[in-house]
Amino acid sequence: MSFILLYLAICTVVVLIAASLFVVLARRMYMRRKYRRLDGERERFAHLSAHLSAGKPVEDDGPYAHKPGSPAWTAVEEALFKALNTETGRDEAARLFESLGYARHYVRKLKSGNRWERALAAEKLGEIRYTAAVPHLLEAMGSRRRDLKLMAVNALGAIKDESAIPNLITMLKHTLAHEEEVSVRVLKSAIISFGPAVLRDLLLELNDPDWRVRAAMLDIIGEIGDRGAAPELTRMLSDPEHEVRAKAAKGLGRLRHREAAPELIRCLNDEDWVTRLHSARALGLIGDGSALMPLKDSVCDRNWQVRAAASESLLRLGKKGYIELLNIFLDVPDKYAKDQALDDLCRAGVYKKMLSMLEGMPRPLDREEGAGDKNEIGEDCLLEMAGILSTLNPWRLEKELYALSGGASGIRDEGVEKARDMLLALRGLSR
């Protein structure tokens, strides 16, 4: 009896293996045939994308109308998407998407398809930028399926129908309250895609009692980069929540709003280091000369990231910023500030540029010459820095030159010794 059961078990296993192999082989043959047909259809309709991309209209839609899901349907769709991404073919491709039934097909799938079909339909409708689908996409935003919800949000951002803005902002506020990080990023991206059209709605939310909402709105406003929002961003530098102040400072830097410089200088003393960091960066981007000495003080900040941002911003201020960084390196007792200044001076290549200038300098030390771009080290700046260094005693001068060259004290370097001698010789020229 046991022998018969064993025999039946073996036979069953063999049959199952054989059936599995048959299914795999059959599926492989089917897929190979399917893709062969699809390749053939792609070749047949290859001319369509080129025709549309050339800006030519399609006189007769009939040859391109096919059963949804068929290889011909897929091939035509691919050709239309290629044309949709071109300036000249976009309008005609959009018309064909609707006249050939693609848009209506995906609206039906969005409303009644399975989970994956609905998400794919939302994505396709966004790519097509089908405005008539907006009400259905807004409905899909309320789905419990996260993938469908996020695809609908993406699609609304792509379509850019302004009627969706209040819904997107409401959903963002709800998502912030529930701390859904991925959804927040997707929603922000969708809202940003509307550009200045969404600004009015965002500014209204800056009075929301939830600081997370205010911070998120400021982040989006900064990304949009519309200067009309600058006064409101400046006002938000006085918000009681530190993250809101930091977002406001960051946004003002992106906007290069010069009128905000006094408030940003005040924020260099903020209790929150992130606010101080973004204020320092913003002042460098704005390039207001009134920030020179406050930024110099911030190079001595207790937080290394603030020190780095302030030092970088000093370089953005041009000649005066470079001079102040050199003064920090030479005279400020704070070791961390000295190290930060040295690091940025080395990265800017001050030593090599100064040495190169001195070797071929055919003019007296006090010669003035324009620096050009603020971020470039002009010859007049290098000459002034050389003059400052030349006042040092020989021993200290050699030590500081080693540091500026990226070397270390105690290591002989003929190039540094040569630079020291040239700088010492400048004392006589400058008198």
pLDDT of 408 reads 53
Residue 58: CB partners within 8 Å, gap ≥ 6?
48, 51, 52, 64, 92, 96
- Cα distances (Å, whole numbers) of residue 262 to 225, 286, 291: 20, 12, 8
Secondary structure string (H, E, C) spanning 345-403: HHHCCHHHHHHHHHHCCCCCCCCCCCCCCCCCCCHHHHHHHHHHHHCCCHHHHHHHHHH
Give residue-wise pLDDT tens across range 294-316.
Answer: 999 999 999 999 999 999 999 99
Phi/psi for 98 (5° steps) reads: -85, -45
Q: Which of 175, 81, 89 is nearest to 123 (CA)?
A: 81
Running DSSP on this structure, what letter comes out for residue 272? Answer: S
Q: Which of 388, 243, 380, 270 is nearest to 324 (CA)?
A: 388
Radius of gyration over every alpha carbon of the chain, rounded to an integer in angstroms: 33
Query: Cα separation of 27 and 252, whole Å?
Result: 59
Both tokens of 404, joined, read 């500026």
Please identify which residue in the block is written with the tokens 């047909």. 37
Which residue blocks in 193-303 are alpha helix, DSSP H?
A: 199-204, 211-224, 230-235, 242-255, 261-267, 273-286, 292-298
Q: Quickly count helices (H) and strands (E) in the chain.
A: 24, 0
pLDDT of 367 reads 40
Q: Are 175 and 184 in contact (CB under 8 A)?
A: yes
pLDDT of 30 reads 60
pLDDT of 39 reads 84
Query: Cα separation of 157 and 188, whole Å?
Result: 10
pLDDT of 139 reads 94
Torsion of CA 69, 70, 74, 77, to 10 degrees: -80
Q: Which of 186, 224, 182, 189 is nearest to 203 (CA)?
A: 224
Q: Would you call 419 exposed, middle or buried from its count of C-beta atoms within 10 A (0-12, 13-18, 19+)?
A: buried
Residues of the chain with pLDDT under 50: 363-374, 409-411, 429-431
pLDDT of 157 reads 95
Residue 420: CB partners within 8 Å, gap ≥ 6?
394, 397, 398, 401
Give residue-wise pLDDT tens across range 197-216.
Answer: 999 999 999 999 999 999 99
Running DSSP on this structure, what letter comes out for residue 214? Answer: H
- Other beta carbons within 10 angstroms of residue 90's beta carbon come to 16
Query: Cα separation of 90 and 331, whole Å?
Result: 63
Query: Cα separation of 251 and 259, whole Å?
Result: 13
Query: Cα separation of 57 and 78, whole Å?
Result: 17
Residue 78: CB partners within 8 Å, gap ≥ 6?
42, 49
Please identify which residue in the block is written with the tokens 């006064």. 231
Query: Cα separation of 281 and 273, whole Å?
Result: 12
Query: How wide is the angle at C-alpha 361 spanned by C-alphas 360 and 362, nearest 5°?
Result: 110
